[in-house]
Amino acid sequence: MTEPGSGPPLRHVLAADQFTPELIAELFGSARAMDSRLGGPALSRLHGRLMATLFYEPSTRTRLSFEAAMLRLGGQVVSTENARDFSSAIKGETLEDTVRIVGGYADCIVLRHSEEGAARRAAAVSPVPVVNAGDGRGEHPTQALLDLYTISSELGRLDGIRLVMVGDLANGRTVHSLAQLMASYRGVEMTMVAPDPLRMGADLVASLRRRGVVVREADSLMDAVGEADVVYQTRIQTERLLEPLSQDEGERDRYRVTPQTMARLPQGSILMHPLPRVGEIDPAVDADPRAAYFRQARNGVPVRMALLAAVLSA
C-alpha cells in the first residue's frame, strides 16, 4: 500500500519552539495527505509499532486524539490514565523510573503531567521518543500545532493573518504557544482583548513585537472582530475570570461570542476555541460555518498522525 508522505524525522516533541516554518510546512503536508486518506483504505505505516500513553492527570480528549492517530496509522496503543498509581505496592515511584520502564515496553511515550518541565525530565532518561501532551503551566506543543494547522487549512495561508485573541491571555499556555508560532510568519497582526488582570504578559508582547508582529489591544471583542481573519477565543477559567465579572453582565459580555459578534465577523474569517468551553461561546453560534472549533478539534488527529509518523520513522 502506498503511504502518504512521512514528514521529517523527529525525536522528542517537547515544546512549540522546536517547530520552524520549514518543519511545520513538511508536517502539515504529511497531515493533509493523511487527512485525505481517512475513511479510505486503512493506513499501515506504523504497523507493528506500539505507543504508550502515560497520563498523570486525566485529559480524555487529548488521550483519545493521540490514540486515534496511532491506531489510524496501523499502530497499537497501551494506555494508562492513572500513572500516579503506577503500582499497588508503592505510590510515588519517580517519573524517571516509570519512563525508563514504559520505554522498555513501547516505541514511544505520550506524556501528560501536571508539573512544568516533566516532559524534559522524561526525555532526559527515556530510551524512546517522548511526546509532550501537556505539562502543567509548561507546554502543549501538539495543541499549538493543530491550532496552526486549522488556520492554514481554513484560510489557505499563514502569512498576513489578522488574529484577535480573547479571554484569559495571562495564563493560557495555548494562546502563548500559538502567538509564538504565528510570529514566525510574515505580516501578522494580533489584537488582544482581555480584562485588565488577565492581559498578556509584557515580556511576551515585547518579544512578539521584536519579531515584527503588530500588536494592539482592544476593550471589547465587538471593537476588534470586524478586522479579524481569525478570532481565537480562549477558555475562560471560572475561578479566574467569570467570578469577579459575574456581577457585571456587560463586562462579561465584552469577551463572549454571540450571534451579534458573528454578524460583524467578515465572511471568510473563522472563530476558533481550544475547547472545552464553558459559556464563552453561545451555542447558537455553532451552526455558523465560520465556527471552526469542532473542525479544529478534529484536526488533532491528522496533525498527531503526521507527528507520530515522523517520530516513529526516525
Is 91 annotated in the active site? yes
Cell of residue 64, nine digits: 483519545
Q: Which is nearer to its own copies, 108 or 208 (CB)?
A: 108
How many helices (H) and strands (E) the chain has is answered by: 13, 9
* Residue 137 binds to its own copies (criterion: CB under 8 A): no
Task: Show the site string, 35-54: x = touches its own copies by CB under 8 A, - = not.
Answer: ------xxx---xx-x-x--
Burial (Cβ within 10 Å: 0-12, 13-18, ≥19) of residue 196: exposed
Of 140, 173, 240, 254, catalytic: 140
Min CB(222)–its own copies separation in Å: 25
Helix (H) or strand (E) run with residue 130 in it: strand 130-135
Q: Which is nearer to its own copies, 133 or 182 (CB)?
A: 133
Alpha carbon distance, N-terminus to C-terminus of the chain? 20
Q: Which amino acid, one-letter code, is at 289?
A: P
Interactions with its own copies, residue window 183-222 (CB under 8 A): none
Of 20, 47, 61, 186, catalytic: 61
Cell of residue 96, nine digits: 524517571
φ/ψ (deg, to 5) at 103:
-65, -15
* Residue 276 binds to its own copies (criterion: CB under 8 A): yes
Q: How many CB atoms lie within 10 A of CB 68?
A: 17
Cell of residue 250, nine digits: 456587560
Q: Give the binding site for its own copies (CB under 8 A).
A: 41-43, 47-48, 50, 52, 57-61, 63-65, 67-68, 71-72, 76, 78, 80-83, 85-90, 92-93, 96-97, 100-102, 104-106, 114, 235, 237, 275-278, 283, 294-295, 297-298, 300-301
